[in-house]
Structure 1
Amino acid sequence: MIAVFKLLHVLLCLFVSLKLLALAQEENQFIYHGFTEANLLLNGIAKIHPNGLLELTNTSKQQIGHAFFPFPSQFNTSLTNNSQSLSFSTQFVFAMVPELPTLGGHGIAFTISPSVNFIGALGSQYFGIFNSTSNGLSSNHVLAVELDTIRSPDFEDINDNHVGIDVNNLTSIESAPVTYFSDEEKENKSLTLISGNMMHAWIDYDEVEKLLNVTVAPITSTKPTWPLLSTSLDLSSFMLDSMYVGFSSSTGAMASSQYILGWSFNKSGQAQSLDLSKLPPLPPKKKSRNKPYLRIVIPTITAIILLISISGAAYIIRRKKYEELREDWEQEYGPQRFSYKDLYKATKGFKDTELLGSGGFGVVYRGALPASNMQVAVKKVSHDSKQGVKEFVAEIVTMGRLRHRNLVQLLGYCRRKGELLLVYDYMPNGSLDKLLFRNDTPSLNWFRRYQILRGVASALLYLHEEWEQVVLHRDVKASNILLDADFHGRLGDFGLAKFHDRGANPHTTCVVGTVGYLAPEVTRTGRATTSSDVFAFGTLMLEMACGRKPIESEQSPEKMILVDWVLESWKRGDILGTCDPKLKGNYRVEEMELVLKLGLLCSFSTPGARPSMRQVVQYLDGNASLPEMPLDGASIGLMPVSHEASRDCTLSFHGSNDYSAYSLSSTDSILSYGR
């Protein structure tokens, strides 16, 4: 009996192993002539017709369609695997039927991605893969071969009918107009992607040669001898072990019905050839009726005239409702100018239910853009058109060009009568001070606090040294840092920011900033520098470690000034006694000591004694050791603001509004005092 059970156990294990092997083979090699039984992962408006035809998009505007194989393929990029583990081969038959004969949607992209959840992705030129913030990030790990039918200047497209190879970025590393080599005629012949005709595409990657070949041809032609694109590419530099394969597509202001009729894929050899006779047919083309029906002509014309009259009146009323203030000089800003109508609809008419925050900085509303459903924050401030608005808008557009994963992205603006509307990325977890200082909300753990500090330090390094100009933020503080869905810190509120060319000195100006974060030299001279931003960041580090504001009048005299209290505790050998009690000791001691001591180092009253943001990033990343510091109380800490300086200057106070970081400050500080 025992022997029988052992035999059954062996047979069961063998059966499971064979099933797993079969499943692994299925995940890495498949062929579909139609998709009725494919069980693809569909998203957006993608659907499968009863006859098996995969429709990625229809003639709906500004839409996305995704269709991916349900299991990830194992690309095995680790060094322990065989040298050809990255090779793959695929072929598919597709068709794009445009809404109008020469105008259609943005096309189809064969996509290899670590995930099928393209959160925040936009349609139009982004193919439903990226958005303006995620496009170009090395963390994407995405390969796409685009069949593009719209020329997008943002991505340096060569024309409105091309094939491109994209790596983490929709600016193609190589592209070419759509042609195929006719083996019979021995020449290249043109193809039009949105002709409505079925076409065949082949994509093959050879890991040994590190060569990606892309070939396109009419359905009536065999695979051409010469590929359309043959690009040297090392996939191992960005591919992950487990990747999904599939298709992503999008429509824009115009649309196309975009179809996949058959698909073959092989991760371990050449993809199987598709049997064209087994492919599902395309829907029949719509035919227009030419026979007139005289008995309905006169009522129809009468109804049209009536509708035009009613529509005209409604248009005038609607135009007044959505009327904007536009001037000729704004034309150059193009996509960074939003329509008031879109923002009105996005915020449900600026309803109180969508209100995120309000205060001296203005009013901020949550919204979802109607075209893409992208979540945004819309801020309304008043402005006077006589007060240098042209220069102000130019600065807004300049700030919109800043690109860093730890900056709150300013997407654009709109002007209407006496209002200025600013559009930002929406940060669902509000401002940092909400979680850091309030006792009625869950506290941030130390891991997240440390990651937020590293992220904001990286953003300041970008502003100081890595952008085309030097950007001085001048108001770094906890309430100006917003938290995204993953609690990553994003530095916002560029209302007091100042730009200057590299090598030039910023001009002396009025004192601006927040009491408790102002470097001593700023209160004396009014001149902000990168060192004064470092001073404010030092205060932020102490806030994160200690869980309290830089100045708290209700504290005892020895604890009232945060930097003084931390310094005195260090002198007594009890620097860890200043740690935030809400952490309950759950932190890495070496990281906590580093943040506290680095915060003091950044708080030196002499600017030259403070580290640069590049050094701060190196310390926080563990790539450099913190230098020894003299425990000299006179050289560290705040200096009082003189009454003379504070009388004529713009100082702000640490607020508790969750969304003050969306502010461009008050219009007084920008339009009256200038930059």
Structure 2
Amino acid sequence: MVAEGDTAVAMVVDVDLDEVVEDLDSLGAHNNPVHLFLLPVKFAIVQIFILHNAVLYLSIKLLALTQDENQFIYNGFRGANLHLDGIAQIHPSGLLQLTNTSKQQIGHAFYQLPLKVNPSSTGLPQSLSFSTNFVIAMVPELPTFSGHGIAFTISPSMDFKRAVASYYLGLFNSSNNGLSSNHVVAVELDTVKSAEFEDINDNHVGIDVNSLKSIASAPVTYFSDKEGPNKSLVLISGNPIQVWIDYDEVEKLLNVSIAPAGTPKPNHPLLSTPIDLSLILLDSVYVGFSSATGAVASNHYVLGWSFNRSGQAQRLELSKLPSFPRPRKSRHKSGLEITVSVTASALLTTIITVAYIVRKKKYEEIREDWEREFGPQRFSYKDLYKATKGFKDEDLLGAGGFGKVYRGVLPSSNMKVAIKKVSHDSKQGMKEFVNEIASMGRLRHRNLVQLLGYCRRRGELLLVYDHMPNGSLDKFLFSNEKPNLNWAQRYRILKGVASGLLYLHEEWEQVVLHRDVKASNVLLDADLNGRLGDFGLARLYDHGANPQTTYVVGTVGYLAPELAKAGKATTSTDVFAFGAFMLEVACGRRPTELQGLVEEMVLVEWVFERWKKGAILETGDPRLEGDYVAEEMELVLKLGLLCSHPNPAARPSMRQVMQYLDGDAILPEILLDGVGAGMFGMSDEASAEFVMSFPLTSGKGSAISMSSTDSILHCGR
């Protein structure tokens, strides 16, 4: 186009200029005296034609550039006109990689030239209709766990410095998510189910407007002429997938189709959503991709991209697309692979056989037929042994009645994990217990430590968790090994743990009772966000069902009084433990302590007495040195008392707790007045039950004896 325009300009200018110069030369022929007068005129005319040539040339160049803005195709991205940030990069092969296996990272890739979607300077409207198609591949770090996905994005800016990784897909953060001032439209290819955004599952396509809460979404399926409708497709399969997005401004309709790369575009779109983009987008927008990883990561690739503002986007030439690293397929050896020639000596064969037997014994595991369904959640003992360098003490993170916890790095993915070894001597209940462990491995929330899977070997059960670099919260509260947490950090941790408990109680597909909420089971990630961990005592039951009676398990100081009487754990008993935890964080003291004055041994009693005297803020942690928001401190202390009410019916739900902490509801003083009526009166039956949960035989909230997994397995499971 540009080359043809250049030739056209040259032809027009050359013909006209030659004719004029020829006429002028004829006037000056034969020593005509007019010739001297015409020389400057001739020079001026030549200059005018040169200027005209330049203007016309630039006009054609600009026209070609405008067309280039509106249509482009990349069969691979070598030399592509893209703006990259975060960890996004283009490989020499032309492969665009948005993210790698780094945790909590963002990658962006946007076409550098903006699209004008407002009326132009000529007064002619610019159509909002567009068509695009691209090929992606998601290669997860682990077979069943992945980063959070990719979003095709239309945005007024390429600056996403304030965006957060993980479930915000590198587009928003907690303060701007949902604001109409974002003017962002995205089509998300989401591989993690986030309760906060009401995701339908962990493998869906959604249309997002200014928020990660989709206005429309659907599980990933496609229509096949050969195989029929609703053919399932797994985003994290590691196979290339093609996506088509078309917007018709006249019909105000956004269509999204998806299929395996190489499959024709489906006749029926996966999503067909009425939407008026003119009410959302600004005058000038950019188009591109945003991607993010979380606690688990994925390699997110874009292999090719075609875009058109004025018609159907060109087809990608799949044969020209760059290749990408495929997911590693796990290779399980059923026996030692030995190739021995016919002439090998019997002695060598014996040595190899003995070595194999010793090695197999070293990594021997317990595997039963019923465990096949939990294959993706099961780790090999060999990998865990290598990850911890043989479970050396130098990698020991903690120990207790539950067993020992080690840090490790998985050899296959270099992923940091925490591995808990719990003893067990009985097969009774093991199948049901492993079933619950596998179920809880599907929990997904930013304030829960991810349970990745398990392994069984001889008399041990090994649970594998995502590693939290800053360790447990109690070390920050009660040990001089860690720096002091300021009030803003503590308040954020309380809200985070409350959000995690709300997810467990109400927002997941089943009700999950944690049964051991306490500071030592709250772990801190790299940004000091609180994540509730240790699901070794957790139980699940269906929404609306009645949990079965069980033996009392948990930690002294956090046990609700009704547990000692009926032995039945409920969401309300978790709320009671959370109340003790709130006071623990605000006061910097454990729920029960032998040291100090008698009236200060039980934390909740002490806080309550100080509140009655109008001095509740005096119970705040002295390490804060009074540097806190008084209203927030008072709210936490009073809410901690309310959650610790001996009557389960008087305690708030975790949803109400979140409303109080978010400032969406006011804590009713009348309920707190009612707390004092019978909460700590020594002649009251409820008080007697309440005191039972605070025996003064331990100064540091020791755990109820749970020396083996059998204790867990016999808890009415």
1:636 aligns with 2:682: no
Distance change in 2, residues 1:420/1:396 (3 Å) = same
**1: CA distance, partners of 2:178 / 2:369:** 38
Other-structure match for 1:175? 221
Amino acid at match of 2:650: A
**Partner in structure 1 of residue 713 of structure 2:** 671
Quote the residue 1:212 is aligned against. 255
Does residue 1:654 correspond to 2:701, yes or no?
yes
1:549 match: 590
Secondary structure class of the residue paired with 2:663: coil
Residue in 1 that maps onto 2:381: 340
In structure 2, the CA distance between the partners of 1:68 and 1:156, relative to structure 1 (3 Å rule), is closer
Give the corresponding residue for 2:434: 393
**1:231 is aligned to 2:271:** yes
Give the TM-score normalised by the residue count of structure 1.
0.65
State how 1:496-515 maps to structure 2 within 5 Å.
496-515=537-556
| Aligned with 2:152 (options 104, 108, 112) | 112
- Cα separation, partners in 2 of 1:84 and 1:331, compared to 1, 3 Å: farther
Is 1:615 the counterpart of 2:656? The answer is yes
Q: Supply the AA of the counterpart residue of 2:485.
A: L
- What one-letter code is carried by the residue in structure 2 that aligns with 1:493? D
Give the whole-Å Cα distance in 2 for the aligned partners of 1:465 and 1:651: 34
Q: Whole-Å Cα distance in 1 between the matches of residues 91 and 136 of structure 2?
A: 14
Among 187, 193, 197, the alignment partner of 1:143 is 187
In the alignment, is residue 54 of structure 1 matched against residue 107 of structure 2?
A: no
Q: CA deviation at 1:578?
A: 1.4
- Aligned counterpart in structure 1 of residue 565 of structure 2, from 524, 528, 532: 524
Q: 1:589 aligned to 2:633?
A: no
- Match of 2:15? none
Separation in structure 1 between the aligned mates of residue 397 and residue 500 of structure 2, nearest angstrom: 25
User: Equivalences for 1:25-174 in 2 at 5 Å?
Assistant: 32=74, 35-38=77-80, 41=84, 48-49=91-92, 53-54=94-95, 69=109, 89-91=131-133, 111-112=151-152, 143=187, 165=205, 173-174=219-220
Alignment of 1:181-330 (within 5 A): 203-206=245-248, 209-214=252-257, 229=269, 231-233=271-273, 245-246=288-289, 260=303, 263-265=305-307, 316-330=357-371
Match of 2:665 in 1: 624
SS in 2 for 1:69: strand
SS at match of 2:599: coil
1:454 corresponds to 2:495: yes
Which residue of structure 2 aligns with residue 431 of structure 1?
A: 472
State percent identity of aligned pairs: 54
How far apart are residue 68 of structure 1 and its match?
5.6
Please state whether the residue corresponding to 2:482 is helix, strand or coil: coil
Cα distance change of structure 1 residues 561 and 90 upon mapping to structure 2, 3 Å threshold: same
Instruction: Work out whether 1:560 is the aligned partner of 2:601.
Output: yes
Aligned-partner Cα distance in 2 for 1:275–1:668: 59
Letter in 2 for 1:361: F
| Cα pair 1:56 1:249 within 8 Å, conserved | no
Residues 604 and 636, structure 1, Cα contact 8 Å, conserved in 2 = yes
Q: Which has the higher contact order (CA 8 A, sep 6+)?
A: 1
Cα distance in 1 for partners of 2:242, 2:548 equals: 62
Contact conserved, 2:131 with 2:311, CA < 8 A, in 1? yes
**Letter aligned with residue 407 of structure 2:** R
The alignment of Structure 1 onto Structure 2 pairs a total of residues equal to 552
Tell me the TM-score normalized by structure 2. 0.61
Residue-by-residue CA offset, 1:374-398 (whole Å, 9 max, x unaligned): 3321111221144432333233234
**CA distance in 2: counterparts of 1:476 and 1:327, whole angstroms:** 33
> Is the 1:120–1:374 Cα contact (8 Å) retained in structure 2?
no
Q: Secondary structure at the match of 1:619?
A: helix
Q: Contact (CA 8 Å) 2:498, 2:657: kept in 1 or not? A: yes
Structure-1 residue corresponding to 2:621: 580
- Indicate the larger mover: 545-554 or 207-216: 207-216
Task: Name which of structure 1's ranges 351-360 and 309-318 shifts more when overlaid on structure 2.
Answer: 309-318
Q: In the alignment, which residue of structure 2 is the partner of 1:12? A: none
| 1:596 Cα deviation from its structure 2 partner | 1.2
Partner of 2:11: none
Which amino acid in the other structure matches residue 231 of structure 1?
Answer: L
Aligned amino acid, residue 491 of structure 1? L
Q: How far apart are residue 572 of structure 1 and its match?
A: 1.7
SS at structure 2 position matched to 1:513: coil
Shift of 1:421: 0.8
Question: Counterpart of 2:121?
Answer: none
Q: Distance in 2 between matches of 1:597 and 1:66?
A: 40
Q: In 2 relative to 1, CA 558–205 (structure 1 residues): closer, same or farther, beyond 3 Å?
A: same
More moved, 518-527 vs 112-121: 112-121
8 Å contact 1:211–1:230 — kept in the other structure? no
Q: Which of 645, 651, 658 does residue 604 from structure 1 map onto?
A: 645
**SS in structure 2 opposite 1:326?**
coil
Question: Is residue 91–residue 271 contact of structure 1 (8 Å, CA) maintained in 2?
Answer: no
Query: Which SS does the other structure have where 1:476 is aligned?
Result: coil
**CA shift for structure 1 position 589:** 2.1
Distance 1:216 1:607, change over 3 A: closer
Q: Which amino acid aligns with 1:515?
A: V
2:581 — aligned with what?
540
Distance 1:518 1:218 in 2: 55
Q: Is the 8 A contact 1:551 1:562 kept in 2?
A: yes
Do the aligned partners of residues 54 and 501 (structure 1) sit closer, same or farther apart at CA in structure 2, a change above 3 Å counting?
Answer: closer
Larger radius of gyration: 2
Quote the Cα distance in structure 2 between the aligned partners of 1:394 and 1:652. 36
Give the Cα–Cα distance (whole angstroms) in 1 for the partners of residues 510 and 341 of structure 2: 62
Partner Cα separation in structure 2 for residue 559 and residue 517 of structure 1: 16
Pairwise CA distance, 1:347: 2.6
8 Å CA contact 2:487–2:624 kept in 1: the answer is yes
Q: Which amino acid aligns with 2:187?
A: L
Q: Deviations over 1:50-73 (max 9, x none)?
A: xx643879xxx9xxx999636788
The one-character-per-residue Cα deviations of 1:403-457 (angstroms, maximum 9, x if unpaired) are: 4332223222111112111111222221111112224422222222222222222
> Any conservation in 2 of the 1:336–1:411 contact (CA below 8 Å)?
yes
After superposition, the Cα gap between the structure-2 partners of 1:511 and 1:275, relative to the gap in structure 1 and judged at 3 Å, is closer
User: 1:488-541: per-residue Cα shift (whole Å, max 9, x none)?
Assistant: 222222333344455554444433322222222323343333332222211111
SS of residue in 2 equivalent to 1:371: coil
Contact 1:28 1:73 in 2 (8 A): no
C-alpha contact 2:256 2:271 (8 A) present in aligned 1: yes
Letter in 2 for 1:619: Y
Other structure's SS at 2:598 match: coil
Shift of 1:271: 8.3
SS at match of 1:474: coil
Determine the structure 2 residue equivalent to 1:133.
none
Q: Conserved in 1, the CA contact under 8 Å of 2:87 and 2:107? A: no
Structure 1: tracts of 5 or more residues without a match: 1-21, 78-82, 97-105, 122-128, 131-136, 147-153, 158-163, 181-197, 251-255, 284-299
For structure 2, list consecutive stretches of 5 or more residues without a partner in the other structure.
1-63, 118-124, 139-145, 171-176, 191-199, 227-239, 294-298, 324-338, 681-685
SS of alignment partner, residue 598 of structure 1: helix
| Cα distance between partner residues in 1 of 2:441 and 2:623 | 37
Matched AA of 1:458: S
